[in-house]
Amino acid sequence: MNPLFLGLDLSTQGLKAVLVQEDCAIVHESAVYFDRDLSHYGTTNGAIRGLEGEVTSPVEMWLEAYDLLMTRMKAAGVDFSAISAISGDGQQHGSVYWSHDAEPLLANLDALKNLSSQLSPKAFSSQKAPIWQDSSTTRECRELEDAVGGAQALADISGSRAYERFTGSQISRIRRINRTAYDATSRVSLVSSFMPSLFLGKIAPIEISDASGMNLMEILSCKWDDELIRACGGPELRAKLGPEPVAGGTSLGTVSPYWVERWGFSPHCIVAPFTGDNPATVVALSFPGDALLSLGTSTTYLLSIPPSLTPPKRFTTSHLLAHPTTAPDAQIAMLCYKNGALAREQVRDRYADGHWSKYNDLVETAPPGCNGHMGLYFPLPEIIPPGVKGEFFYQTSDPTTPLRLAESEVPSGLHPRMILESQFLSIRSRITAILPANSPPLSRLVVSGGSSGNQTIRQLAADLFDMKVYISATKEAAAMGGALLARFAWWKATEAPHGSFEEMCSGVDAEAFGMKCVAIPNPDAVLAYSKLVGSYVACEGAVVDACGMGGV
């Protein structure tokens, strides 16, 4: 039987599966969307917003998504017995709180029943999982930075200064506001380690690349840091985190009898660590010299870089992550924005009657630079610059001193182009700071995520970044990265001698990754944008001042 590899992606808005053959050609895809398919949980775009910036998702919804996804795959004729290994990815930073009943419940799942009815609510000490959109932990962030000697000191240890969504501060807040739940927690999982736990029938360790998004791991050694652990959750947090983080592409064991009996999986099917959605995208799409622009619910800009000898400087507001397969020889530099696709959709709905075709026409009719108008849109409290919220419009004829405008003073047809320009200029203004001197020069911009299918957006990215834009044949990049991690774990477990991830990929059908150039920079637009970076920086500074957030 030809082996198959399953990659699962638990993103903000849905759970997706990609099944690939040994040559990495995709043979099946399925998806469950939370708002549409599991509407009884009442989520909006997969999340529930509470008070004080709290944003969570119901853990039971994720379990039910697993049940439904498996049902859909079976109905589509997937032969589960042919799956040799499983891996995947989850939205980064989100955390699941297991109760003391969790391990026995996971180990004794009844194959006649679904996951959600057996695990929810008893296996969890909190029924809601804080996710990456949460911004309720400002107090905990300051306390954590103070505990270790400041923001830069924390970045030196963990790869990032404190961020509201990072899991250490999330754990710290739960300990402060709900001590009973914290004490009733046997283990804390990331979304990415919650997922394989269900397959293994026991709680899985956390993976190194996703652990980099917690402010709890020492970024160079990829080991838990006791000082950070104590600051976030007291000494008892050490046991709740489980063993030291593990590298991607290793084997955690095989699927539990539940999966064999209920769905017909092979008892030899390997479960490999799952990683974060952004590292998984890097695994699927990045070759040396590529920059990745992931245009999903969040916008992320990712660079696979040689190991950094100096930690990221605070002013860059970037993150350094361990690489899932290539640590310690490579790391990932990342910029992450909360206001990505959803902010663009709001602009589309308000100014383009909810139609992408009209939106694109408006973008194409406006000139680069929108006749000296700039608009910055932050419907959710932003990550870069930290905490800013609202909409801000400027006239930029004097690039150093932007003049604030009311919305009514901006021609309404300019908004679709203005939001793209400011979102991309924010990234462009930070690239030099996050690209280490020993990196290969950037040659291609690979775009992925929902908005990467939009040709108008691709062309604007080519012009603004002055780079040729490529897309991959792989539509679901994160889930594909998961399938590759599954294949890597299987390859290492079955073939000797074991090679590197890159060696494994050299044996893979290039068609599966086929990169296609979809946009070439237009020299006139490139020139216009190179002059706008300074104006953008001045506008962003004005927004930070207007929000009273202080310097970044």
How far apart (Å, rounded) are the C-alpha atoms in residues 335 and 323? Answer: 15
Q: Is 315 helix (H, G, I), strand (E, B) or coil?
A: helix
Q: Which tokens sit at 547? A: 């929000």
Phi-psi region of 53 (alpha: psi -120 to 50; beta: other; left: phi over 0): left
Phi-psi region of 150 (alpha: psi -120 to 50; beta: other; left: phi over 0): left
Buried-state track 167-195, b at ≥16 Cβ within 10 A, e below 16: bbbbbbbbbeeeeebbebbbbbbbbbbbb
Q: How many CA atoms lie within 13 A of 108 on its CB side?
A: 6
Nearer to ligand XUL, 68 or 320 (CB): 320
What's the CA dihedral at 266, 72, 47, 280 to 10 degrees? 50
Q: End-to-end CA distance of the chain: give it in Å, rounded.
A: 56
What is the smallest separation between the CB atom of 157 and ligand XUL, expressed in angstroms? 18
Question: 340 with 447: CB under 8 angstroms?
Answer: no
Q: Is 343 helix (H, G, I), strand (E, B) or coil?
A: helix
- How crowded is residue 16: how many other Cβ atoms within 10 Å of its Cβ? 25
Using the Cα atoms of residue 544, residue 533, residue 318 and residue 207 in order, give the sign of their dihedral.
positive
What is the smallest separation between the CB atom of 300 and ligand XUL, expressed in angstroms? 5
Nearer to ligand XUL, 78 or 477 (CB): 477
Question: Please, is 55 exposed, middle or buried when counting C-beta atoms within 10 Å of its C-beta (0-12, 13-18, 19+)?
Answer: buried
What is the smallest separation between the CB atom of 7 and ligand XUL, expressed in angstroms? 16
List the one residue out of 159, 91, 169 whose CA is nearest residue 135. Answer: 169
Q: How many helices (H) and strands (E) does the chain have?
A: 24, 24
Q: How many CA atoms lie within 13 A of 203 on its CB side?
A: 27
CA distances from 203 to 96, 132, 207 (A): 11, 21, 12
Nearer to ligand XUL, 276 or 385 (CB): 276
Nearer to ligand XUL, 55 or 471 (CB): 55
What is the smallest separation between the CB atom of 464 and ligand XUL, expressed in angstroms? 21
Nearer to ligand XUL, 213 or 242 (CB): 213
Tokens 């293994």: give the residue. Answer: 200
| Size (the chain), residues | 552
Q: Is 124 helix (H, G, I), strand (E, B) or coil?
A: strand
Contacts with ligand XUL, residue ranges (CB under 6 A): 12, 91-93, 132, 165, 213, 276-278, 296-298, 300, 336
What is the smallest separation between the CB atom of 343 and ligand XUL, expressed in angstroms? 14
Nearer to ligand XUL, 119 or 285 (CB): 285
Nearer to ligand XUL, 219 or 352 (CB): 219
Nearer to ligand XUL, 298 or 360 (CB): 298
Question: Please, is 246 exposed, middle or buried when counting C-beta atoms within 10 Å of its C-beta (0-12, 13-18, 19+)?
Answer: buried
Nearer to ligand XUL, 45 or 522 (CB): 45
How far apart (Å, rounded) are the C-alpha atoms in residues 333 and 300? Answer: 10
Q: What is the DSSP string of 484-510?
A: HHHHHHHHHHHSSS---HHHHHHTS-H
Tokens 């000898």: give the residue. Answer: 309
How far apart (Å, rounded) are the C-alpha atoms in residues 395 and 387? Answer: 23
Backbone angles phi, psi at 87, to 5 degrees: -150, -165
What is the smallest separation between the CB atom of 191 and ligand XUL, expressed in angstroms? 9
